[in-house]
């Protein structure tokens, strides 16, 4: 069934279809109407879930951690400073290997206060041990929520579903609402191996000594370093799972098929504009315009930021002449975080493209098609070289 709704409602309907059983959320700014919609669905009896309103984002995720530890499918959502307030619990959820799914409606972070879109909130949380997926439109938001639960529960790593604040969250677009039976086929009920059970008491995530130790049964229990190494290796291995899930999703629903990089006119392109989120669709208009001018440029949207799909990036782009990375976030005092990661992924290749970096759209600064076109016209030249510092688009100084 096709419906026309906001990106937030697309996300909420995804959570409903995923049959999440515990939702905890803090309702005030920078929260979005996503959780309000979920509270309505629970109140109307359309969702069989516990909706737990809390006094802060830190508590929202703490409730999800408890619920997930007890074997429930847990969901929360936040944005911007709310996500930052969760920071300690983000690390905890990942270290505890809990398959929580959270929507991050991307907004800029204060100071100074802003509620508009950029990616600094989720990018600044890249090393929390969460998988980060980025959606480009309303359909992808809904679909990615479903894939995120499946992925999280397969690899026991929490997943953020990130989508652009306002540009996607508050705008209305048509999208396909999947059939509930088909979703159940794709996403079986949550059946964790370990969960809190009064019949079988266990300590979860107590103080772990620097070295390994014998447990009460005389088996070797891992130390902190083994547990963290396991998280890292599982994040790397999860890329295979992301690919498999994408294939299965396409078989069932007939959509998707691009687990890591969604290309647009990339095959015959010499240069590729790379970015995350809705901007990659915005760029398609620019690509069409520049193609008419004879510039062989394509666009690529990165769907996964952590684990970083370095092999997919190297395979897709190492034979190109140039990459132009557009970012709505910045590693202050250095360069765009995605830019640095892409350069690192290409470093081992002997014949690698130049890579340039543009920072744009911070705090909701309007991104004009003409500005994107100018940036690409300036960059898509054989004489271009890799830069170590970003250039800025739309800066009025």
Note the residues at the interface with other proteins (CB under 8 A): 96-97, 154-157, 193-194, 201-209, 213-217, 221-222, 224, 226-227, 229-230, 234, 237-238, 240
59 vs 156, beta carbon nearer other proteins: 156
Give the whole-angstrom CA distance, residue 191 versus residue 200.
Answer: 16
Shortest distance in whole angstroms from residue 280 CB to other proteins: 30
**What one-character DSSP code corresponds to residue 31?**
-
Bridging pattern class, strands 297-302 and 261-264? antiparallel
54 vs 227, beta carbon nearer other proteins: 227
223 vs 363, beta carbon nearer other proteins: 223
Shortest distance in whole angstroms from residue 208 CB to other proteins: 5
59 vs 69, beta carbon nearer other proteins: 69
Give the whole-angstrom CA distance, residue 31 versus residue 208.
Answer: 35
Which CA distances in Å does 377 have to 19, 162, 222, 267, 269? 47, 29, 54, 19, 14
Give the whole-angstrom CA distance, residue 390 versus residue 154.
Answer: 38
The answer to whether 155 and 100 have CB atoms below 8 angstroms apart is no
- Secondary structure (DSSP) of 242-276: HHHHHHHHHHHHS----SSEEEES-TT-SEEEEE-
Shortest distance in whole angstroms from residue 201 CB to other proteins: 6
228 vs 377, beta carbon nearer other proteins: 228
The answer to whether 11 and 161 have CB atoms below 8 angstroms apart is yes
Shortest distance in whole angstroms from residue 226 CB to other proteins: 5
Shortest distance in whole angstroms from residue 183 CB to other proteins: 23
Shortest distance in whole angstroms from residue 189 CB to other proteins: 18
84 vs 242, beta carbon nearer other proteins: 242
Give the whole-angstrom CA distance, residue 259 versus residue 238.
Answer: 11
């Amino acid at each position: 069934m096709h419906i026309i709704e906001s990106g937030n409602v697309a996300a909420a309907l995804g959570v409903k279809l995923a049959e999440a059983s515990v939702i905890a959320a803090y309702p005030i700014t920078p929260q979005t109407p996503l959780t309000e919609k979920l509270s309505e669905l629970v109140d109307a009896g359309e969702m069989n879930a516990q909706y737990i309103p809390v006094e802060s984002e830190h508590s929202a995720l703490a409730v999800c951690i408890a619920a997930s530890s007890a074997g429930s499918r847990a969901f929360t959502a936040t944005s911007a400073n709310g996500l930052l307030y969760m920071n300690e619990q983000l690390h905890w959820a990942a270290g505890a290997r809990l398959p929580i799914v959270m929507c991050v409606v991307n907004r800029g972070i204060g100071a100074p206060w802003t509620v508009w879109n950029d990616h600094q909130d989720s990018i600044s949380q890249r090393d929390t041990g969460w998988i980060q997926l980025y959606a480009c439109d309303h359909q992808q938001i809904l679909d990615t929520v479903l894939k995120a639960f499946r992925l999280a529960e397969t690899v026991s790593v929490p997943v953020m579903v990130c989508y652009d604040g306002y540009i996607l969250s508050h705008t209305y677009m048509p999208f396909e609402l999947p059939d509930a039976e088909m979703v159940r086929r794709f996403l079986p009920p949550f059946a964790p191996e370990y969960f809190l059970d009064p019949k079988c008491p266990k300590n979860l995530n107590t103080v772990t000594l620097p070295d390994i130790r014998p447990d009460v049964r005389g088996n070797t229990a891992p130390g902190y370093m083994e547990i963290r190494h396991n998280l890292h290796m599982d994040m790397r291995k999860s890329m295979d799972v992301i690919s498999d899930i994408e294939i299965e999703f396409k078989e069932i629903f007939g959509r998707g098929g691009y687990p890591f990089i969604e290309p647009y006119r990339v095959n015959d392109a010499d240069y590729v504009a790379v970015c995350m989120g809705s901007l990659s669709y915005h760029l398609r208009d620019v690509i069409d315009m520049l193609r008419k001018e004879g510039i062989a440029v394509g666009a690529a949207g990165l769907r996964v930021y952590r684990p970083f799909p370095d092999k997919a990036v190297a395979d897709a782009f190492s034979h190109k002449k140039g990459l132009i990375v557009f970012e709505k976030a910045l590693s202050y005092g250095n360069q765009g975080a995605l830019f640095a990661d892409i350069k690192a992924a290409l470093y081992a290749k002997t014949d690698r493209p130049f890579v340039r970096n543009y920072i744009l759209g911070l705090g909701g600064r309007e991104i004009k098609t003409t500005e994107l076109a100018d940036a690409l016209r300036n960059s898509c030249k054989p004489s271009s070289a890799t830069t170590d510092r970003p250039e800025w688009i739309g800066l009025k100084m």
